[in-house]
Amino acid sequence: METKLCRVLCSGIVFVGAGLLAVTSLQGEPLNVNPIRRAASLPATTPWYLDKLSQVPAFEWAADRPGSGGQPIRSLYYTGELYQGKKTRIFAYYATPGILSRDPSKDKKLPAIVLVHGGGGHADVGWVQLWAKRGYAAIAMDLAGCGPDKKPLTDGGGPGMGDDITFGAIDGPITDQWAYHAVADMILAHSLIRSFPEVDPEKTAVTGYSWGGFLTCLGAALDDRFKAAVPVYGCGFIAQNSSWLDRFNKMSPESRAKWVMLWDPSTYMGSATVPMLFVNGGTDRHYRPDSYAKTYDLIKAPKNIHYVSFLQHGAVIDRPSAVEIFVEHYLRGGVPLQKVATPVVSGKQIRAGVETKTKLLKAELQYTLDPILGVADTRKWIAQPAKIEQTNIVAELPPRNATIWFLTVTDDRDVLVSSPLMFLKN
């Protein structure tokens, strides 16, 4: 009750409906904190009403849950979009430095981050605790229609993440499909966390892994209020090459084209204005190198890449350190990641410039001889030493039959970044 009273005093919150809280202005209208500026380049077929998603959703606090070490983590439900004509409520965890320490004085003008889980995942209590320990307000919502017990909500749960919904519902109503709700729920979580009085609404970021990385790409393209975005694994062009090709092959050409038009990040990434760090691995079985590179090439906003040849697919919440450093730079003014330019072939050598404010310690050329369209989790990579010449990387050419290659450089923070991926030209 004390927390609800504080919200009333600080944010103009009033009780509405069945115990939910709605954030309002003093005039009683829904609070629209710095609404999304829709990019003019977004296609007319974009299905989300961004003005509506900019508004702070009604929400209610639920029972706290202890994190590791017994630190308290808050939980809540907020109102989502209609599903099959009925209202939805989305479960989420929330934490701040003040919540963890039980000291509200620590919570002033906090940067904030939205955390987006992957397929088979749920709202992650440990993930919000990790970012709260780093000094952020953090929210992690469940995008599978489940509550804290990871079971589907019996009242108001949205669509699940099964293939029957993710792919099989493409010919049904747009608003009954998983991608529609997942993106909307992510943006609504952003609108909600921006409204909390302890949060600086001009310092927010989003990151997610796997399907959460896929959604992070969409969030960066649709919601310009984010100041940084880090998709881990996720990318676009998945109907061209990914682990889901068999799903797409079962669709009619019309349904496949509709799915790509509505949900694939390739439709939207050219409109992104949010700085983005792309994180992936050369043995990721789901999001393949060529699809990844095509997605990266679409981005006109500031971008960087952390591509590690041996990194396999998984739930990445506490690594790599490049994620935290990238977010710290854009939200707190930290030292930026070094950045490798697109390599240039000159004779028998490859050269690439590096923008850096740190000392460079190690550089390598990574390449593979395996087919580009092969299964990525069995792909073998070969490392070849490269030279650091002031702010340039110089390497010998890979073999003529190298199908994919890229440069990496590691600095004195032990942080690796990569060049864009290069491909064998036929």
Which residues make beta-bridge pairs with 60? 77
Tens-place pLDDT, residues 304-334:
999 988 776 566 666 679 999 999 999 999 9
The residues pairing with 14 across neighbouring beta strands, listed in sequence order, are 22
Residue 25's nearest CA partner among 2, 45, 53, 55 is 55
User: Which whole number is the average pLDDT over 34-48?
Assistant: 95
3-state helix, strand, coil in the chain (%, to 5): 30, 30, 40
Q: Tell me the mean pLDDT in the region 9-24.
A: 39
The pLDDT, as a whole number, for residue 20 is 53
| Residue 199: per-residue pLDDT | 97
Burial label for 291, CB within 10 Å (0-12, 13-18, 19+), is buried
The percent of residues in the chain predicted with pLDDT above 90, rounded, is 76
**pLDDT at residue 67, rounded to an integer:** 87
Confidence of residue 10 (pLDDT cuts 50, 70, 90): very low
Report CA-CA distances (Å) from 57 to 20, 181, 234, 418: 9, 14, 27, 39
Task: Tell me which range, 151-160, 190-199, 287-296, 376-385, is most confidently predicted by mean pLDDT.
Answer: 190-199
In this prediction, residue 402 carries a pLDDT of 94
Checking if the pLDDT of 347 tops 80, the result is yes
Of 21-30, 116-125, 129-138, 178-187, least confident by mean pLDDT is 21-30
pLDDT, residue 376, reads: 73
- Of the candidates 303, 299, 309, the one whose C-alpha atom is nearest the C-alpha of residue 336 is 303
- Alpha carbons 405 and 345: distance in angstroms, whole number: 12
Chain mean pLDDT for the chain: 89
Does 279 have pLDDT greater than 70? yes
Q: What is the pLDDT of residue 215?
A: 97
**Complete edge-to-edge strand list for the sheet that includes strand 276-283:** 13-16, 20-23, 59-66, 72-79, 89-95, 137-141, 110-116, 199-209, 228-232, 276-283, 303-312
Q: Is the pLDDT of residue 372 over 50?
A: yes
Residues 308, 281: contact at Cβ < 8 Å?
Answer: yes
Average pLDDT over residues 227-247: 93
Packing angle between helix 211-222 and helix 178-195, nearest 10 degrees? 60
Residue 239 binned pLDDT confidence (cut-offs 50, 70, 90): very high
285 CB-side CA count, 13 A: 5
Rounded Cα–Cα distance for residues 186 and 114 (Å): 8
pLDDT at 86 over 80: yes
Where do the domains of the chain lie, and which CATH numbers do they carry? Answer: 2-337 (3.40.50.1820), 340-423 (2.60.40)
pLDDT of residue 373: 80
Name, of 24-38, 235-249, 279-293, 308-322, the range with top average pLDDT.
Answer: 235-249
Taken in order 375, 376, 380, 383, the sign of the CA dihedral is positive
pLDDT at 319 (0 to 100): 63
pLDDT-derived band at 72, boundaries 50, 70, 90: very high
**Spatial separation of the C-alpha atoms in residues 134 and 385, rounded to whole Å:** 35
pLDDT at 315: 61
Res. 286 pLDDT band, cuts 50 70 90: confident
- Average pLDDT value for residue range 342-364: 95
Answer yes or no: is pLDDT of 281 > 90. Answer: no
